[in-house]
Amino acid sequence: MRAKTILVSLLALMVLVAGCGGGGGAPQAAAGEFVRLWNDPSTLDPHLTGDTASAEIVVEVYGGLVTLDTDLEVVPDLAERWTISADRKTYTFTLRRNAKFHSGKAVTANDVKWSLERAADPKTESTTVDTYMGDIVGVKDKLIGKASEISGVKVIDERTIEITIDAPKSYFLAKLTYPTAFVLDRENVQSGPEWFKKPNGTGPFKLKEYKPGELIVLERFADYHLGAAKLNSVRFFLAGGNPMVMYENNEIDTIGVGLADLPRIQDPKSPLNKELNVAAPGFQTSYLAMNVTRPPFDDPKVRQALAYAVDKEEIASKVLANRVKAATTILPPGFPGFNPDQKGIGFDPQKAKQLLAESKYGANMANFPRITLTAPGALGSAVGLDLEAMLAMWRENLGIQIEVQQVEFATFLGDVDARRLQMWELGWVADYPDPQNFLDILFHSKSVNNQTGYSNPEVDQLLEQARTEADEAKRLDLYRQAEDLIIKDAPWILTWHEAERYRLIKPKVKNSQYLLLPLVVPKYRLLSLEE
């Protein structure tokens, strides 16, 4: 799913999505309440969720047939079990007898069917349904208004539902862990346009309070089918403030540690040193995307030239103090299918100049098309130091001046989805641990999430082969071949992967390792506080 990229302005907290928040003088937490900072979600409707700030809240309030556990394995959620047909295309789910909405009403197979069809209804205007549910037979017909129901979803009885997909795909169950496939209460959704402010979910927490731009409070759902949360509530501050001051004043229970504070906290003499936690890098990739249907990016040599003109290693070490790793791959390190031998496009200013000169635009730099790079952020706010360094390298190495404009995040995402942008800065955080979640979703020519307009028939063929390849080793090799071609075509300028993540967590927080996971998964019910 999409997330704000690792800008220096966000490195103050060193978390991809929780980069702002907190308000000075915040009230003390109630007993059993975990408190943290977060970004204001762009939506709380699961079927519209497409960014990490929203998903972090949504996965706690709602659920689907299956979910990801803290080991990143697909496990039962509302369904207690399932069977798969011999041809690997039909999944039969049996719902739990104790699966309930927050109102106490039992979850039925009809609720599942209605929810999937609501997600695929063109009136819902979901930008994620084709990506995460498009494998289900009949979803595409429903989405374009050719059918009133999804033909591949059948209610067998009150507790049994059957889902048929178009081809055997090993990653299909993992896709169902995404919020697009979550189960909603029809009566709740149809109660009015702001139903999501008082949602009747099925997750471990109820939404108790939501003040946009200020506060979200979740409270424990005592009858949650997987076991009630140990916490009474979780409070998310969404408004501005000084995170470190708030943490040291015991107003919040955790923060990411940024460049300015890390040396002090790493000092063994610091009272905060024992509260410092180090996590493995998250499964994310930051990048600069280029719309390959618009000049000058319709010429691959221009895209390649811009990539070769940037010394990412120098920026990572000297500008960002090694808090990120220069990205040479689309798949992040440690992710299934990651190729450690992939060198990517390195820094070579002479080759960059040559490629630009060979392009159809480089022969006449006086008339070179104007380039505008759009980044998420408040109008007039500072551009990240990493981006400033790249802009300088393009000027110095290629003589190309690139203008930067900043747009509020929700508006920015809408512009990306509508392919209105020429060049933009963004990041992708894995939704489930499978290379299909990066390569197929973002680069297949017919994927709705292919916002660059990139198209390579050879890449499409490899991705389509990988979809149904039963041999895991062969499947991962197909993805590596596709990734190599995509990197050479350069619809993205790969920028950063996370390095180790540093986070302060109060000693009273138990099972705090769940705050360090590399993906968005339901986790707050597993935390507890030792008051």
Position 166: which residue type?
A: D
* Interacting residues of 59 by C-beta distance below 8 A, sequence separation 6+: 67, 179, 203, 520, 521, 522
Query: Residue 512 has what pLDDT?
Result: 95
Instruction: Give the Cβ contact number of residue 429 at 10 Å.
Output: 23
Contact 77, 67 (CB under 8 A): yes
**Residues 452-503: pLDDT tens digits?**
999 999 999 999 999 999 999 999 999 999 999 999 999 999 999 988 889 9
Query: Residue 24 has what pLDDT?
Result: 42
Q: Give bridge partners of residue 493 from the DSSP assignment.
A: 288
Q: Is 254 helix (H, G, I), strand (E, B) or coil?
A: strand
Q: Does domain 2-59+203-280+501-529 have CATH number 3.30.1950.10?
A: no
Query: Residue 29 has what pLDDT?
Result: 62
Dist. CA 521–CA 72, nearest whole Å:
8
Residue burial 227-257, b: 16+ Cβ < 10 Å; e: rest: eebbbebbbbbbbebebbebbeeebbbbbbb
What are the residue boundaries of the structural domains of the chain, listed by start? 2-59+203-280+501-529, 63-189, 284-498
Q: Which CATH architecture has domain 63-189?
A: Alpha-Beta Complex (3.90)
Handedness of CA 264, 268, 273, 279 (dihedral sign): positive
Instruction: Give the Cβ contact number of residue 94 at 10 Å.
Output: 18
415 burial level (CB within 10 Å; 0-12, 13-18, 19+)? middle
Query: Residue 393 has what pLDDT?
Result: 98
149 burial level (CB within 10 Å; 0-12, 13-18, 19+)? middle
Low-confidence ranges of the chain (pLDDT < 50): 6-25
CATH topology (fold) of 284-498: Dipeptide-binding Protein; domain 3 (3.10.105)
300-308 vs 349-358: helix crossing angle, rounded to 10: 160
Cα three-residue angle 83-87-88, rounded to 5 degrees: 50
Q: How far is CA 16 from CA 19, 84, 402, in A?
A: 7, 37, 25
Query: Residue 380 has what pLDDT?
Result: 67
- CA 453 to chain centroid: 20
Measure CA of the first residue to CA of the last residue in the chain; give whole Å.
Answer: 35
* Count of residues making up the chain: 531
Contact 285, 428 (CB under 8 A): yes
The half-sphere exposure of 230 on its side-chain side, counting CA atoms within 13 A, is 12
Token reading at 488: 């050479």
Going by C-alpha positions, the residue among 352, 394, 389 that lies closest to residue 371 is 394
